[in-house]
Amino acid sequence: MTGPLEGIRVIDLCSVVSGPAAMVQLADQGADVIKVESLDGDITRRSRAESPGFSPGFVTCNRGKRSIALDLKSESGKAVLWRLIESADVLAQNYRPGAMDRLGFGYESVRARNSRVVYLSISGVGATGPYSEKRVYDPIIQALSGLADIQSDPLSGRPKMIRTIVADKTTAIYAAQAVTAALVARGRTGVGQHVEVSMLDVMLSYLWPEGMAPFAVVADGTTEARASIHDMIFETSDGFLTFGAVSDQEWRGLCEALDRPDLIEDPRFATPAARSKNRQERMEVVELAIGQRKRDELISALEANDVPCMPVLRRTEVLNDPQVQHNQAIKTINQQGVGPIRQARPAARFGATPAHDPRVAPSLGEHTLAILNEVGFDTEGIQRLLDSKVVYAPDGE
């Protein structure tokens, strides 16, 4: 057995990032994920001109899947999808709200044909409501959820975006977990269900522990939360580092490492509450002391005093970091159409049912013929589909 989800079949109708990245986690964990693409393919296939069909983003979000290319606007194409659905445990889609109903594959229609299906719908802000018809990408959610405000420049107050698609990728993690939870429930009841995940709801949940903490206690009212004036990156005389000194013990250790034991009993910083109240003064004092030290020497002193710390690595340095290498966290695979390509290995490690190491992503329609055969189409039926341009198979022309 390879992977805890071996034997689970997933029909992946998703495109771009949030849905495909969710389903690639299930593929890594052993599920048979069938990516259903249009005859033109997922738009992310075409975002790298020098490797048409295999951009790095596409490979990362679709590795280990099988691909079938269908014209879902045709009745014959819809008939193929119905056969796939009848064989499926999970159907995942991130079309705009209402689109699946218009195609004839809304949840109620699917449930009528296969009551065991876990039906995942990923949306930008939800299926209904004043914004539900708007087109949504990651920056839209960063703006709407308050994340951009949390990142605001402390001096100008200008909101800032995170420079990675954090809303898309976090939604993928939440969605994958929700699907596996629904599969556990189905194991008890024998019946699937509709699972709805919106990027907006995900990011509100994601931000609540600390980003929205100033608004958690209703009795406090809703006041404007001040942006943090420091990003926790400190410049030494020859590089950058970060550290965490939250507890009294860690604060004492930091003061000792900086050769500033006088700060331990300083009334401005003597307790967690005082350090929080006087945060800016504390940061200025600490930053001045750090700027006079060499990075590696200071890290050694911080470690000797049990203060959590690390150098701030450039992305080129991450690849060769000794802990990253020890974890074997980055694998190299030989991706067709590209050549050797690095991928992060699946983060969860299962002792009894190990997940797959990263596998290659499929070419458009690479598995069309095999999948059609699996769901009952004979040679003549497959040829009719190919001749009518309802399906595409690179080896079927």
What is the set of active-site residues? 168
CA nearest 72: which of 21, 118, 15, 28?
15
Q: Do the beta carbons of residue 54 and residue 364 sit within 8 Å? A: no
Chain centroid to CA 327: 20
Rounded to whole angstroms, the Cα distance separating 60 from 21 reads 8
